[in-house]
Structure 1
Amino acid sequence: MIDIKKDINFRYIFGKDSEPNKIALKGLIEAFVDVKVTNLEILTSELSRNIEEAKKSSLDIQARFGTGEKIDVEMQMCNNRHELAQRMAYYGGQLVSSQIKKGEPYTKIKRSYVLFILDFKWIEDEKLVHTYIKKEKEDYTDIPQGDWNPFVVVELPKAKYKEEMNISEEYAFVLKYCTEEKYHDKIELIKQREKGIFYRMKCANNISQNEMEWLKKLEEERYEMDRAQKVENARLEGIEIGLEKGEKIGSLNTMKENIKTMYKNKCDIQFIAKVLEQSIEYVQNVLNEK
């Protein structure tokens, strides 16, 4: 079984425009989002730009329901928590703004959902699924006629196996542990109960050898992109540590703390040196200090 969490595989299984794949995507959406999906249509992953200089955006999966409502489904394995809220807001805004053309009334706009499935913890609690909608600041009443841009966050590390699981817990558990042999029997039981999960596993198992090799090549290319993202995240983490202490990131004490913190978090010496723009020798000397 391939690792469905890897975004190339995720797109291939849930974003393919065939009936089994659409059944799998329908089940995934309904498991995590409070919506009934009918007549699911897979759309292009590219978001249109209103101006030439606007940032080009490519979604993991963009789809539309029979009601005209749209959804962006994102699988995030790389811990990019420093930009995650901004990314969600940008994608949500693009989903809404792309619905109408010049001269058309705003009443044509349909609700758009943004679903982010994370393979890391972002929110400091044990709740598996969080849904954020716009409410009035002081008395927390809903915007009239409902919210037009719900943001749904699913954190897979919070998935735990239980004898009785709801549908969102089942989907999250299968996504998180689909490649782990020790959970094979439990996943088989879940697959027999839930049609969407059955089709998702069927789609994954039906990938040919040629497709597997192609996906592996794309995955290698994606790894280099993720590596660059991790470098940026580590740099931002270092800046954040410095800001919390009220110190400049370039100060000697903060630099040493950053080096030791990154090393404690399993970063290798070469990686630390590159991120903090220090020599390998300097990093090694700091780590050797008592």
Structure 2
Amino acid sequence: MSEVINYQNDLVKFNNDLFFKYLLSRDTAESKMLRKYIVKLVTNIDCKKMIVKNPEINQNTVLAKNIILDICAVDETGRVIDIEMQMAGNNNSESARFQFYGARLLVEQLDAGEKYNMLRPVYQIIFINDDDDCLIRDYAYRDSNGRMEKGNLNYRYFIKMKHIEKILKEKEVKELNDLERLCYLFIKNEYT
């Protein structure tokens, strides 16, 4: 006797933060490729190697939303790369939280007495359930004339995934660029 089951409603979505962490944190060729692909698409950094510093999914933090990073990786030059999936939206609390994450990733690099020149840049890639007049917003420390601070160590990229709806009004799915296709996958849960 065979039973037909409709799995459509039971699918885990790519934008589920636990699945996202599972998908990107594993030590498999696919996970490694996807991590590097995301970093290259968003930051234009071509990492040769990335080690995930927090691959575990701790049962104690699954239900309690503690201060945990989805993916925290370090590349071959020591750059710290944080990749987040935030589907709750963007508000002042979320903005403060991501700034806190960035600062914490800097602070955690040094032990007492170590020199500040040992600090490596922190790159935060945040896929967020928000819209804007563009798909991606990038932030770094700049002066009032827009010049980046010398030796800047904090880079934050917000990928506004809801913006894909506006893009789809102008383009067909087959015309999407790579970052747009990735957002389409995360939002629509279907391959382009």
Q: TM-score range by the shorter chain?
A: 0.7 to 0.9
The code of the aligned residue for 2:188 comes to Y
Is residue 164 from structure 1 mapped to residue 175 from structure 2 by the alignment?
yes
Q: Please, what TM-score do these two structures have when normalized by structure 2?
A: 0.79
Residue among 136, 145, 148 paired with 1:142: 148
8 Å CA contact 2:81, 2:122 repeated in 1: yes
Cα distance in 2 for residues equivalent to 1:6 and 1:37: 25
Shift of 1:82: 2.9
1:28 corresponds to which residue? 38
Please give the residue correspondences for 1:99-178 in structure 2 after superposition, counting only pairs within 5 Å: 99-121=109-131, 125-137=132-144, 139-145=145-151, 147-159=152-164, 160-161=167-168, 162=171, 163-178=174-189
Q: Structure 1 or 2: larger helix share?
A: 1
| Secondary structure class of the residue paired with 2:15 | coil
2:3 corresponds to which residue? none
| Secondary structure class of the residue paired with 1:152 | strand
**Alpha carbons of structure 1 residues 140 and 73: separation in structure 2 relative to 1, 3 Å:** same
Shift of 1:20: 1.6
Cα distance in 2 for residues equivalent to 1:128 and 1:24: 19
- Greater C-alpha radius of gyration: 1
Moved more, 100-109 or 26-35: 26-35
1:263 corresponds to which residue? none
2:5 corresponds to which residue? none
Shift of 1:15: 1.4
Q: Please, what TM-score do these two structures have when normalized by structure 1?
A: 0.54
- RMSD between aligned alpha carbons? 1.9
Shift of 1:17: 2.2
Residue among 93, 100, 105 paired with 1:95: 105
Alignment gaps of 5+ in structure 1: 47-55, 188-290
Please give the residue correspondences for 1:191-270 in structure 2 after superposition, counting only pairs within 5 Å: none
Q: Structure 1 or 2: larger strand share?
A: 2
Moved more, 69-78 or 164-173: 164-173
Shift of 1:33: 2.0
8 Å CA contact 1:157, 1:176 repeated in 2: yes
Cα distance in 2 for residues equivalent to 1:78 and 1:57: 15
2:96 corresponds to which residue? 86
Q: Which runs of 4+ in 1 moved over 2 A?
A: 160-167
The code of the aligned residue for 1:143 comes to E
Residue among 22, 44, 53 paired with 1:43: 53
Cα distance in 1 for residues equivalent to 2:123 and 2:189: 26
Cα distance in 1 for residues equivalent to 2:55 and 2:72: 6
| Secondary structure class of the residue paired with 1:131 | strand
